[in-house]
Structure 1
Amino acid sequence: MKTPPGPARIGAALVAALTGLAVLTGLAGLAAAPATALDTPPAARAADDRPNIVLITTDDQTLADLYWMPATRAALGGAGATFGQAISPHPLCCPARAEMVTGQYAQNNGVRSNSGPHGGFGALKEPGNTVASWLHDAGYATGFVGKYLNLYSERDGIQAGWDHWAPITHNTYQAFDYSVFDNGTRVEHHDDLHSNDFVSQRTVDLVERYAAADEPFLVWSSYVAPHGQCTDNLPLDVCAAPPTPAARHAGLYSGSPLPSLGKPSFNEADVSDKPIIIRKQKRVRAANLQRLFTQRIRALASVDEGVAATVEALRAAGELDNTYLVFTSDNGYLLGEHRYNGKVLAYRESLRVPMLIRGPGIPAGVVRQQRVSTIDLAPTMVEIAGAVPGRPMDGVSMLAAARADAPLPRTSLIQAGPFHRRGTIDWTYRGVYTGRYTFVRWNRTGFVELYDHARDPYELRNLGTTAKYGKVRRELFRRTNLLSRCSGDACRVDFGPVPRPRR
């Protein structure tokens, strides 16, 4: 089934939103991306004036990548709050997305990895009990478009709580020649519609349709960029090919140097104090990573346009001032830091993600330093909607911090896994992130990593066996043990200050 024709609404929205950014971004002469028509809009919106929510997510985007998304920074950060210390506490695609829809750590939602008996969509406990169903039950119209949890397939059906359901289900990591499970029907895209542009045009259509109705709405726009290319049903470690940007961005940002080249952690000289996964790494080739980086930020350029188009659609519908827009990524990414290319590890480039939010009551252009995370997205949406969650949430709403800079004491559990040992299943590593410290214990070997970001922002010196950090290490290990078993309120405990290292 081919994509049905429709008006090129996104093209007009992009031109309107980006006219003033042509010099900054080099996007003059944008080609309009074709749009897909939806059903006839419902009757004009009436009584329910609760705020709308638009969640926009990317895949594997670093905090630094946001620099090359000027429209997003201006429309969301410039008009709202930027959380500079946001993290993804389980920095891998499927576990992070499971956190987003449940507000829970993996020990509670079941998703520890992208595949295997404890990974992928099939590992999600109560898949119909998510933030979508909670908001739907609260009277919100809901729509999803883009990448869902890894290994979700058409046989899993339309997920509960979503009024409009359009996940990419085949060739997910290809920019072209992909399929969408469009409200229960497979629609194959063998045209020139880049998957980013598909997500953007469908988002604009949903905003226009829902804005005309008599109910508030939640739309989740889930972009695949800047994830590398790979083939479905193969391990993610083969996703080594750089992403394909939209044709109009093929020459964009040619002179932008790889940011990690300027870090002392790039191709770290001495990795003898690092875990085995780093010690066995050869030095990376800067030229290869430069090409990967350039293609990544080019792939994000059409996401940046999509954000601008979404904002313009909300403005045109008279809904912008009554909408919370949230932008983040499922995890970060290392590009040669500590000789590593990828994610999953607990280094700051992998953990840290962009987190921008604008909406009613949030001052324009503020930067917040509270340590929010991806498990806080569902609680935030629940508070906005006045919804009732169907499971205990481990995260906390970001609204008070975004609006009034309210304190948010936070020690976050960080983890990855699982691995199999002697017939049992254990976590690959578990630890905590406090802002100043990263503490990790690798469960297979007992190897400990401890970094003091105040003195070592590039995480070059592992303090895991340093005597003067003994009290710090013991306290962070205690917190790790407590948070590893936590649920709900117990995950949000204020542990107070970490002991100071000995002089």
Structure 2
Amino acid sequence: MKLLLSLTLLALTASQAVRAEKPNILFLFADDQSWETIGAVGGEVITPNLDKLVEEGTRFDHAYNMGSWSGAVCVASRHMFNTGRTVWNANNLIKSEANWKKKHKGTPNPDATKSWSQLMGDAGYETYFAGKWHVSLFDPKAIFDHVGTVRPGMPKAKPSGYNRPKDENDKEWLPWDKSMGGFWEGGTHWSEVLKDEAIGFIDEAAKKERPFFMYIAFNAPHDPRQAPKEFVDMYPVDKVKVPENFLKKYPYADQIGCSKSLRDEKLMPFPRTEYAVKVNRQEYFALITHMDAQIGKILDALEASGKADNTYIIYTADHGLAVGHHGLVGKQNMYEHSLCPPLIINGPGIEAGKRINTRVYIQDIVPTTLDLAGATPEQTIDFQSLLPLAKGETGQGRDRIYGAYLDLQRCVIKDGWKLIYYPKADVHRLFNLEKDANEMNDLAANPEYASRLTSMKTALAEEMKAQGDPGLASKANRPK
């Protein structure tokens, strides 16, 4: 009996040691943040804490969201994160689960897909969540061990926050005016509330041996773009640059679903003015800098907890945003500013100051964390781990990147070229991303690139088939 007890204690001690060796994972998730809005990337935005993550970790310069079946692109992106499935597979899961609930009158589906957090829990992690959710497939309180404030898709916006500013005298809506609600609803800015809850989670996790997985989701810098006045004052309007690819109106706006009827596009007046773009970018930048300040405090708390040395910090957003590029405001387009958010990984064994130029998907983060956790889930994960890239074991990323928005837009990226297709207008746009980073020189009608256009049409049709795209495959390869 004594021998059995000794062996049992030894086994328990060994098991605890294995658990203790697993790294902690802090996932910091922004909303509507373009890749260009981190100071270390060379942009206008002041982000000292994100800059430090870049300096001490590895940044992916070309990380993509695949697109959306919904005007709320974040819905698709977050479902991809929380299921590990690609865009149309994630959409099929939602439909399948809805059919199950309808057929079985709400009875839980025993074969339902597990969430990202549940898979991390299966791997021995204590899981925490606070912030923006916007994932209909799962209730966060049912899939995380600890849950703070669960926020909706966006803070409530007042009508005066749209179609502005009309001119220099338009001061009806101001980002620091708490009477406008939005991020100020409840009295304390939502980014600050999330910071406080994240620090509370870290303080609790510091008392435990079990590794943690924290999913901290900011609503910032989604509109309404509200920040304290001292942050807005950091960006004088006359110093804010208008994007080089600024247009008063995007020529295919109506055919691609980015007309005056799309909520995001109604934030600025039509046609676009340089002044309106400057003000919107000023407020966008201020909200990012305010969020960065909260992130700094979260990282300070992590350091003070004694857990930092064994913690991977992963930072990204659900997609990018236009805010004046190409005459667009939102994320419902196939341009780099809207498809690409930042992606930074920082932690043990990750090279400091490294830049990775190969193309990846942001949802590749999911199998990356499972890889770090030593997990081998039985269910399918469509994405692939970034660890081999981050640790320098390979330089090979994705051969192709696919993008989709409703049935209105498709794109494929291959060999440094991008093809965008608009089915309603039956228009192809072809860009050389290596020579034309701002996507201003459409080469589709240039006979010199006819063979490239043909090969890219073929690549798009093949990628749509591979992704289980519900339509447009035949149109995508239609000869001219």
Which of residues 85, 102, 120 in structure 1 aligns to 2:83?
102
8 Å Cα contact 2:66-2:402 kept in structure 1: yes
User: Superposed, which structure 2 residues align to 1:422-441 within 5 Å?
Assistant: 427-434=407-414, 436-441=416-421
Give the whole-Å Cα distance in 2 for the aligned partners of 1:66 and 1:394. 29
Give the whole-Å Cα distance in 2 for the aligned partners of 1:478 and 1:212. 56
- In the alignment, residue 369 of structure 1 is paired with which amino acid? N
Range 303-312 or range 463-472, more displaced: 463-472
C-alpha distance after superposition, 1:452-487 (max 9, x if no partner): 123322222322343332332233233323332436
* Structure whose alpha-carbon radius of gyration is higher: 2
Offset of 1:439 from its aligned partner? Answer: 1.2
- In the alignment, residue 460 of structure 2 is paired with which amino acid? T
Partner of 1:51: 23
Which of residues 199, 207, 222 in structure 2 aligns to 1:212?
207
Range 389-398 or range 322-331, more displaced: 389-398
Offset of 1:214 from its aligned partner? Answer: 1.9
8 Å Cα contact 1:85-1:369 kept in structure 2: yes
**Residues 160, 112 of structure 1: CA spacing in aligned structure 2 closer, same or farther, 3 A cutoff?**
closer
Partner of 2:130: 145
Range 98-107 or range 74-83, more displaced: 98-107
Are positions 1:132 and 2:117 aligned together? Answer: yes
Partner of 1:401: 389
SS at match of 1:356: strand
- How many pairs align? 401
**Residues 64, 112 of structure 1: CA spacing in aligned structure 2 closer, same or farther, 3 A cutoff?**
farther
Give the whole-Å Cα distance in 1 for the aligned partners of 2:47 and 2:397. 31
Which of residues 236, 255, 258 in structure 1 aligns to 2:240?
258
Give the whole-Å Cα distance in 2 for the aligned partners of 1:87 and 1:409. 12
Partner of 1:7: none
- In the alignment, residue 363 of structure 1 is paired with which amino acid? E
Which of residues 71, 82, 93 in structure 1 aligns to 2:74?
93
| TM-score w.r.t. length of structure 2 | 0.74
SS at match of 1:54: strand
**Residues 248, 202 of structure 1: CA spacing in aligned structure 2 closer, same or farther, 3 A cutoff?**
farther
Structure 1 unaligned blocks of 5 or more: 1-44, 119-124, 180-187, 230-242, 419-426, 489-503
Are positions 1:480 and 2:460 aligned together? Answer: yes
- Say what the alpha-carbon RMSD is for the aligned residues: 3.5
Which of residues 352, 367, 375 in structure 2 aligns to 1:364?
352
User: Superposed, which structure 2 residues align to 1:31-180 within 5 Å?
Assistant: 48-67=20-39, 68-90=45-67, 92-110=73-91, 129-149=114-134, 157-169=139-151, 172-174=154-156
Give the whole-Å Cα distance in 1 for the aligned partners of 2:271 and 2:321. 17
**Residues 279, 371 of structure 1: CA spacing in aligned structure 2 closer, same or farther, 3 A cutoff?**
closer
- In the alignment, residue 343 of structure 2 is paired with which amino acid? M
C-alpha distance after superposition, 1:260-302 (max 9, x if no partner): x151x21179x66888449979541121221111111211223
C-alpha distance after superposition, 1:336-384 (max 9, x if no partner): 2222221110111111211111001011111121212212111111111
Give the whole-Å Cα distance in 2 for the aligned partners of 1:77 and 1:227. 22
Give the whole-Å Cα distance in 2 for the aligned partners of 1:409 and 1:171. 31
Give the whole-Å Cα distance in 2 for the aligned partners of 1:165 and 1:128. 21
Give the whole-Å Cα distance in 1 for the aligned partners of 2:431 and 2:80. 25
Give the whole-Å Cα distance in 1 for the aligned partners of 2:215 and 2:238. 30
**Residues 250, 471 of structure 1: CA spacing in aligned structure 2 closer, same or farther, 3 A cutoff?**
closer
| TM-score w.r.t. length of structure 1 | 0.71
Are positions 1:199 and 2:184 aligned together? Answer: no
**Residues 143, 412 of structure 1: CA spacing in aligned structure 2 closer, same or farther, 3 A cutoff?**
farther
Partner of 1:16: none
Give the whole-Å Cα distance in 1 for the aligned partners of 2:135 and 2:142. 17
**Residues 135, 178 of structure 1: CA spacing in aligned structure 2 closer, same or farther, 3 A cutoff?**
farther
Give the whole-Å Cα distance in 2 for the aligned partners of 1:71 and 1:96. 27
| Higher helix proportion (structure 1 or 2) | 2
SS at match of 1:64: coil
8 Å Cα contact 2:132-2:152 kept in structure 1: no
